[in-house]
Structure 1
Amino acid sequence: MSEDEELYIQVTDREGNVHRLPALSGWRVMEIIKDAGLPLKAECGGALECATCHVYVDRAWMDRVHPKSDEEDEKLDEAFMVKGNSRLSCQILMSDELNGLEVTLAPEGE
């Protein structure tokens, strides 16, 4: 990646609007989404104690994000409408390899 190329992620909100968000290497995807003001609860702030930062990773990106830990997999059991591409955004660290990462905010539970 060249110096003048900006890291970013693309987030589809719950209404279907796509947002291109500037990203910083080493930041959690959760932090990027929250800093942009999108409606992501992330109640525990990334401590892997809740499932309120649940997102769906675009299937084209699934093999590029770091695999889920057992702890993340267990915590996803508490999330609403979990799918095969469900992830907790606090567990995805931004890097050059993830430039352009596409995620969709999962529905909020009751």
Structure 2
Amino acid sequence: MTKITFQTVDGTRYDLEAADGTTAMENAVRNDVPGIEAECGGACACATCHVYVDEVWREAVGEPEPMEEDMLDFAHEPQPNSRLSCQIKVRPELDGLVLYVPERQG
């Protein structure tokens, strides 16, 4: 299991144990992390699972693929460290990953 932390705007932290091979979004939804709506269910067809990747983790998480970049145009206040959590695959190298939930989704 890989530890992932989602932090909401009010500073509440959700420390999750995530199975490798799942997505950050699946784990957020399964654990009722507020602010991760995931309206499309992880198909990269909306921007309602938008997160900000902690700067320390940007390189390990990687950059978005072109389809994800297109969807991020619909995200609320996208930043250079924006990702869709449905596109972040959980793997051992991401143990300790911190993701910030934006104030609101798309």
Please, what TM-score do these two structures have when normalized by structure 2? 0.93
Which residue number in structure 1 is paired with residue 2 of structure 2?
A: 7
Which residue number in structure 2 is paired with residue 44 of structure 1?
A: 40
Q: Which has the larger radius of gyration?
A: 1
1:29-61 deviations in Å (ceiling 9; x for gaps):
001111111121000001011000000000000
Q: Which amino acid aligns with 2:102?
A: A
Q: Secondary structure at the match of 1:50?
A: coil
Question: How far apart, in 1, do the equivalents of 2:67 and 2:39 lie?
Answer: 17
Query: 1:20 is matched with which residue: 9, 15, 22?
Result: 15
Relative to structure 1, is the Cα distance of residues 35 and 109 closer, same or farther in structure 2, using a 3 angstrom cutoff?
A: closer
Asked if 1:76 is matched to 2:72, the reply is yes
Which residue number in structure 2 is paired with residue 67 of structure 1?
A: 63
Q: Which structure is higher in helix share?
A: 2
Q: Which amino acid aligns with 1:11?
A: F
Structure 1: segments with no counterpart, 5+ residues: 1-5
Equivalent pairs counted in the alignment come to: 105
Which residue number in structure 2 is paired with residue 31 of structure 1?
A: 26
8 Å CA contact retained: 2:3, 2:18: yes
Please, what TM-score do these two structures have when normalized by structure 1? 0.90
Shift of 1:109: 4.3
Identity of aligned residues (%): 39
Q: Secondary structure at the match of 1:64?
A: helix
Which residue number in structure 2 is paired with residue 3 of structure 1?
A: none
Where do 4+ consecutive residues of structure 1 move more than 3 Å?
none
Question: How far apart, in 1, do the equivalents of 2:105 and 2:33 lie?
Answer: 17
> Superposition RMSD on alpha carbons, in Å?
1.2
